[in-house]
């Protein structure tokens, strides 16, 4: 655990963020053997659960900060669905341990620190952060889930792949960007800004062998796939990733 958070505080591996859409279709990349990267099921569930709780809290915070009732209304579905995913992941944990909170607890300082970094300085930046970072982390934890043992693998994939309700967040942002070109430029910068910190959180969840060179090689295809998903979300908003 200490090593994981040590890593979060002091990244030693530079993460290359593609500034352009990847030229190669990510589907053509060789799939990595995820069993090598997937952490133990219990810490996996603890971290994945807390990520969903964090998404819920950020969307709820955006509901509270929304300028009007229609905007609040459009955010209730993503809040409810993140809460539901959190509760389902905690239920998975409860099948394996008596006290899910004891598993989740150690992940909170790192993720809370991360949340403060990517929160954004206004409502639109906050919404963009939730939309992009939750998208990246959902994709990432879904990929990892395929390396989990037995039935829990399929159940976690089903939980994480269930509707997020975040289409409405994208709609709110698209409309705001269409109406205000300056906002679009600012959000494009912000959208690029949050990726690095999010990939560090993702990396902290990966089981590393201790050999930095081979670890890098194993992780690269996963991150390529994840960044492709990020690029699609930026595209949807009309922003250049």
Binding mask 50-69 for a second copy (x = CB under 8 A): x--x--xx--xx-xx---xx
* Nearer Cβ to a second copy (71/146): 71
Instruction: Tell the smallest beta-carbon distance from residue 173 to a second copy (Å).
Output: 19
Buried-state track 88-121, b at ≥16 Cβ within 10 A, e below 16: bbbebbeeeeeebeebbebbbebbeebbebbebe
* Nearer Cβ to a second copy (55/227): 55
**Given 43, 72, 152, 170, the residue binding a second copy (CB under 8 A):** 72
**Given 11, 15, 18, 76, the residue binding a second copy (CB under 8 A):** 76
Q: Is 84 a binder of a second copy (CB under 8 A)?
A: yes
**Given 105, 154, 212, 238, the residue binding a second copy (CB under 8 A):** 105
Instruction: Tell the smallest beta-carbon distance from residue 102 to a second copy (Å).
Output: 9
**Given 51, 104, 132, 134, the residue binding a second copy (CB under 8 A):** 104
* Nearer Cβ to a second copy (22/80): 80
Q: Is 216 a binder of a second copy (CB under 8 A)?
A: no
**Given 87, 119, 146, 157, the residue binding a second copy (CB under 8 A):** 87
Instruction: Tell the smallest beta-carbon distance from residue 79 to a second copy (Å).
Output: 7
Chain residues binding a second copy by CB under 8 A are 50, 53, 56-57, 60-61, 63-64, 68-70, 72-73, 76, 79-80, 83-84, 86-87, 90, 100-101, 104-105, 108
């Amino acid at each position: 655990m200490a090593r994981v958070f040590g890593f979060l505080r002091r990244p030693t591996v530079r993460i290359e963020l593609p500034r352009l859409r990847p030229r190669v279709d990510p589907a053509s990349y060789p799939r990595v053997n995820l069993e090598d990267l997937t952490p133990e099921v219990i810490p996996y569930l603890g971290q994945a659960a807390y990520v969903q709780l964090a998404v819920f809290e950020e969307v709820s915070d955006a509901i509270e900060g929304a300028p009007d009732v229609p905007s609040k209304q459009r955010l209730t579905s993503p809040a409810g669905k993140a809460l539901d995913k959190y509760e389902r992941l905690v239920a998975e944990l409860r099948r394996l341990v008596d006290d899910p909170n004891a598993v989740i607890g150690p992940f909170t300082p790192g993720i809370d620190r991360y949340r403060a970094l990517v929160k954004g300085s206004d409502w639109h930046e906050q919404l963009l952060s939730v939309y992009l970072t939750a998208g990246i982390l959902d994709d990432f934890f879904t990929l990892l889930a395929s390396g989990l043992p037995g039935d829990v693998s399929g159940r976690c994939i089903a939980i994480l792949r269930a509707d997020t309700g975040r289409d409405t967040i994208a709609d709110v942002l698209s409309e705001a960007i269409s109406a205000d070109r300056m906002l679009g430029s600012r959000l494009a910068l912000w959208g690029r800004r949050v990726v690095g910190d999010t990939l560090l959180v993702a990396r902290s969840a990966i089981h590393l062998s201790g050999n930095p060179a081979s670890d890098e090689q194993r992780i690269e295809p996963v991150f390529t796939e994840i960044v492709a998903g990020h690029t699609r979300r930026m595209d949807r908003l009309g922003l250049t990733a």
